[in-house]
């Protein structure tokens, strides 16, 4: 007799909640005249992001990759159509498996021409309110800058601190220091570590928190701007529920030359860490050269959002067939 696992790990209630969530998302964007699109999941190019790994496949002996997000293809379409678009699709990331991670997951991504990061944060809050709002009870949102959450939880300005200071403060406050992280390392490695160890655990556990204005070195695909203190920051935001990251958004970079430089820097980081560099997506760069409209975009992990909605504690509980039961 077969020992295969054929039943879904998600309950019937969760499966129905997923269907209702997808229905309500589509209704939300229909009401705003945002066009639903579908772009390829398979690409000739992997991501250069040193913190992500693309799942590799093969077609007619040619290497190809499953997308880590639909971002590049959607921006190519946006450069051509110049209109608001959204997509609900599968995304794939290698070597990601755990309480909040599955190698295959469902992503909502959308782009609003004419919006900046603050306007898109407001629209994301509006969508979450639609999905979570109940009679006499609406979700609560807290909005803080990256600087604010570090000052509140650790007591220093992350835009001014050095790696050596992070090391000293960690010793002073009895914060665990992982093996391989020293006072000579990049300050952003320290900030990432302290974010997970001290900042995120300090966030309210029963509501949504927006964090915005990240350090310049963490800009990814975001524009560089200035905060209220006129310090250069990345116009990027993330949405959390408690410690769980739900969304990552940008006031989008439109400069092709700058984007190419960032991809090259990604590959330099990969090489320094002993990883293989990745071919840069020339189609995406060509689209930026043609002209991407001023816009903001955001990616939302719908499986995690469903975990919050249904009070599930493991991503397997909201996936019909997770990786280890696929």
pLDDT the model gives residue 102: 96
> Is position 109 within any domain?
yes
- Do 113 and 181 share a domain, yes or no? no
- Do 115 and 253 share a domain, yes or no? yes
CA dihedral 300, 302, 303, 309 (to 10 degrees): 110
Q: Does the pLDDT at position 29 exceed 80?
A: yes
> Is position 82 within any domain?
yes
**Overall average pLDDT of the 57-73 stretch:** 95
The pTM (predicted TM-score) of the whole model is 0.95
pLDDT the model gives residue 1: 65
- Do 136 and 17 share a domain, yes or no? yes
- Do 71 and 116 share a domain, yes or no? yes
User: Confidence band (pLDDT; 50, 70, 90) for 135?
Assistant: low
Buried b (16+ CB within 10 A) or exposed e, 165-184: ebbebbeeeeeeeeeebeee
Angle at the Cα of 248 from the Cα atoms of 227 and 207, rounded to 5 degrees: 90
Q: Are 189 and 181 in contact (CB under 8 A)?
A: yes
> Is position 211 within any domain?
no
Q: Does the pLDDT at position 174 exceed 60?
A: yes
> Is position 7 within any domain?
no
> Is position 218 within any domain?
no
The enclosing domain of 38 has a CATH number of 3.30.930.10
- Do 134 and 21 share a domain, yes or no? yes
Question: Cα(114)–Cα(315) distance, rounded to whole angstroms?
Answer: 35
- Do 43 and 161 share a domain, yes or no? no
- Do 21 and 157 share a domain, yes or no? no
- Do 170 and 254 share a domain, yes or no? no
Strand, coil or helix: 69: coil
pLDDT the model gives residue 10: 92
Question: Cα(167)–Cα(324) distance, rounded to whole angstroms?
Answer: 39
pLDDT the model gives residue 3: 75
- Do 172 and 79 share a domain, yes or no? no
- Do 132 and 149 share a domain, yes or no? no
> Is position 167 within any domain?
yes
Exposed, middle or buried by CB within 10 Å (0-12, 13-18, 19+), for 70?
buried
pLDDT averaged over the chain? 94
- Do 16 and 125 share a domain, yes or no? yes
Structural domain range at position 149: 144-199
**Lowest-pLDDT range of 71-80, 146-155, 178-187, 190-199:** 178-187
Q: Are 252 and 111 in contact (CB under 8 A)?
A: yes
- The beta-carbon contacts of 204-207 under 8 Å, at least 24 apart in sequence, are 204/140, 204/142, 204/242, 205/242, 205/243, 206/140, 206/242, 207/139, 207/140, 207/141, 207/142, 207/241
pLDDT tens digits along 82-118? 999 999 999 999 988 999 999 999 999 999 999 999 9
Number of compact structural domains in the chain: 2
User: Confidence band (pLDDT; 50, 70, 90) for 134?
Assistant: confident
Provide, rounded to the nearest whole percent, the portion of the chain with pLDDT above 70.
99
pLDDT tens digits along 250-303? 999 999 999 999 999 999 999 998 999 999 999 999 999 999 999 999 999 999
Contacts with 7 (C-beta within 8 Å, 6 or more apart), sequence order: none
């Amino acid at each position: 007799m077969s020992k295969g696992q054929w039943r879904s790990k998600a309950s019937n209630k969760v499966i129905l909640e997923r269907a209702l969530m997808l229905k309500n998302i589509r209704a939300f964007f229909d009401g705003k005249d945002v066009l639903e699109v579908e772009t390829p999941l398979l690409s000739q190019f992997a991501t250069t992001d040193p913190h992500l790994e693309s799942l590799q496949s093969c077609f007619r002996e040619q290497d190809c990759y499953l997308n880590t997000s639909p971002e590049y293809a959607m921006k190519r379409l946006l450069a051509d159509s110049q209109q608001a678009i959204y997509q609900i699709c599968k995304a794939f990331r290698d070597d990601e498996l755990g309480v909040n991670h599955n190698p295959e997951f469902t992503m909502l991504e959308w782009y609003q021409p004419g919006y900046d990061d603050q306007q898109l944060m407001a629209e994301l809050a509006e969508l979450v309110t639609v999905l979570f709002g109940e009679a006499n009870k609406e979700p609560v949102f807290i909005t803080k800058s990256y600087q604010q959450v570090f000052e509140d939880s650790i007591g220093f300005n992350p835009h001014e601190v050095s790696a050596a200071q992070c090391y000293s403060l960690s010793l002073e406050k009895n914060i665990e220091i992982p093996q391989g992280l020293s006072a000579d390392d990049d300050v952003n490695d320290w900030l990432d570590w302290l974010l997970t160890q001290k900042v995120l655990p300090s966030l309210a556990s029963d509501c949504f928190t927006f964090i915005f204005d990240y350090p310049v070195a963490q800009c990814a695909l975001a524009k560089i701007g200035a905060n209220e203190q006129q310090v250069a920051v990345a116009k990027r935001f993330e949405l959390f529920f408690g410690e769980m990251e739900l969304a990552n958004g940008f006031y989008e970079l439109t400069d092709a030359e700058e984007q190419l430089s960032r991809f090259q820097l990604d590959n330099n980081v990969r090489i320094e860490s002993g990883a293989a560099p990745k071919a840069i997506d020339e189609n995406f760069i060509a689209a930026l050269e043609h002209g991407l409209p001023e816009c903001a975009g955001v990616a939302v992990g719908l499986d995690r959002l469903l975990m919050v909605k249904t009070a599930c504690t493991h991503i397997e509980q909201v996936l019909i067939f997770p990786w280890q039961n696929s």
